[in-house]
Amino acid sequence: MLQFISPTDIVIHILINRLWPVWVSMAILMGVSYRYRKKLGLYGQLYDSGVGVTGIAILSFWFFTAVFSHYVSPFNPLEQIAVMRNALPGAIEPKSGYPFLLGGDKLARDVFSRVVDGSRIVLLIAPLATLVALTVGITLGLPAGYFGRKTDSFLSFLANLVLAFPVILLFYLLVSPEIVETGLPRATAGVFFAFPIILACIAFGTRFIGRPVLLAVQLLVVLAFTYWLYSTFVFFNDPFGLIQVTPSTLNIFVAVVFASSPGVFRIVRGLVMDIKTRDYVAAAQTRGENPWYIMVWEVLPNARGPLIVDACLRIGYTTILLGTLGFFGLGMPPESPDWGTTIKDGSQLLRAFIHPALPPAIALMSFVLGLNLLADALREESLKD
């Protein structure tokens, strides 16, 4: 017969025994940031807003939880201990004597460990997919808005073509086994990863063309980053052992970038069409500057406010989308501890046991809430400027 610890002991175990590296890291990060907030630009200004501080606190909590997930998790998220099947929170595992703090699921896995480990998947895919989608949208949106005419018509047509396709059907096609076997996701990922490289090369090349030594150093850094990026995400062989990417993760990543890029493209295009009429752009044109220099170094910096806000919101949308895909069983393996799959597994016995589905749902909600609060604070600070 299983033994249980009290609710008070559960809270103590979670908040003190397991999460202490998270609290220490958060205290150091936020303490140092607050101390030097006046030197940290827009990020430092967030500490003057209660909404901004709350958003940073929530996001830093999940970030450090993902970083220290191997220490925080008391059990392997895939380990099955038969006696702990659907165990209530606080049930003590007989062999180790350590409790399943949030209970066990229908396959006798520790819910707490799965929620913690699931944060690594969310914080890997959502921000990186959003960043790549931003670079794709920026790289295509800049010339579309700046040059207009045929360039704008062609690129806008491609964006509208993707936006017109049903999103769920698009995801289903991109992660279906038949499409995966063709190698299309890997090829598409290779194309998507070219955009941040192209954008970086254009930025450095147009800015430091007269300083060849500095330009060469920066291009070498870009080349090293390119090698790591393609080795890790396209060939699944991280040379530094930092991230382990599976084909399922890559499929979801490609699907998210493919669906998000057209929205970023339209935002960038609209901003560029407005900013290119400003006097400082006309002055740069009069000086005879290269059009790509004007787009990257004159137009883009003045569009950063709306883009940063959109990036925060888009990471939240991507997180919800990942949860939705996991709930419908698309992309990630059935045993994956990502929050969407965990919610799906817990919902099948929701009338009898609420504890397997509730923690990942709260985790998903809190992470998206933190992103929305951060976006609101960024919007307020950008309006002050």
Class of domain 118-327: mainly alpha
pTM, to two decimals: 0.87
- Min mean pLDDT across 47-51, 102-106, 234-238 is at 234-238
Q: Give the chain's end-to-end CA distance (angstroms, integer).
A: 63
Q: What is the per-residue pLDDT across 11-26, written as a single tens digit (0 to 9) for each? A: 888 888 889 999 999 9
Which 3 state secondary structure label does DSSP give 80? coil
Task: For residue 83, list its beta bridge partners.
Answer: none
Q: What is the per-residue pLDDT across 364-379, written as a single tens digit (0 to 9) for each? A: 999 999 999 998 888 8
Overall size of the chain counted in residues: 385
Tokens of 298: 């004159």
At residue 265, what is the residue type? Answer: F
The conformation of residue 92, written as its DSSP 8-state character, comes to E
At residue 385, does pLDDT exceed 60?
Answer: no
Task: For residue 110, list its beta bridge partners.
Answer: 104
Q: How far is CA 359 from CA 75, 114, 118, 181, 243, in A?
A: 16, 10, 11, 35, 25
Burial class of residue 32, CB neighbours in 10 A (0-12, 13-18, 19+): exposed
Q: How far is CA 312 from CA 133, 271, 315, 324, in A?
A: 13, 18, 5, 19
Tokens of 383: 């309006």
Burial class of residue 163, CB neighbours in 10 A (0-12, 13-18, 19+): middle
- Longest CA–CA span in the chain (Å) reads 83
Which 3 state secondary structure label does DSSP give 351? coil
Tokens of 282: 């006309």
Torsion angle of the four alpha carbons 45, 307, 168, 172, in this order, in degrees rounded to the nearest 10: -100
Work out the pLDDT band at 187, boundaries 50, 70, 90: confident
Work out the pLDDT band at 306, boundaries 50, 70, 90: confident
- What is the rounded distance in angstroms from the CA atom of residue 251 to the CA atom of residue 225? 21
Q: How far is CA 349 from CA 218, 221, 328, in A?
A: 54, 51, 16
Q: Which residues belong to CATH 1.10.3720 in the chain?
A: 118-327
Tokens of 207: 């800015």
Tokens of 50: 């209660």
Question: At 1, which helix (H) or strand (E)?
Answer: none
Question: At 79, which helix (H) or strand (E)?
Answer: none
Q: Can you give the pLDDT at residue 139? A: 94
Mean pLDDT, to the nearest integer, of 320-343? Answer: 79
Burial class of residue 215, CB neighbours in 10 A (0-12, 13-18, 19+): middle
Work out the pLDDT band at 266, boundaries 50, 70, 90: very high
* Contact status, residue 104 vs residue 91, Cβ threshold 8 Å: yes
Long-range contact set of residues 29-32: C-beta below 8 Å, sequence gap at least 24: 29/60, 30/56, 30/57, 30/60
Chain centroid to Cα 138, Å, comes to: 18
Residue 154 or residue 90, greater confidence = 154
At residue 110, does pLDDT exceed 80?
Answer: yes
Tokens of 16: 């003190």
* Contact status, residue 112 vs residue 101, Cβ threshold 8 Å: yes
Nearest to 225 by CA among 248, 200, 255, 245: 200
Tokens of 317: 């949308």
Distant-in-sequence, close-in-space partners of 278: CB < 8 Å, separation ≥ 6: 302
Which 3 state secondary structure label does DSSP give 100? strand
Question: At 377, which helix (H) or strand (E)?
Answer: helix 358-384
Can you say whether the dihedral through the CA atoms of 97, 103, 109, 115 is positive or negative? negative
Q: Can you give the pLDDT at residue 143? A: 94
Tokens of 67: 């970083």
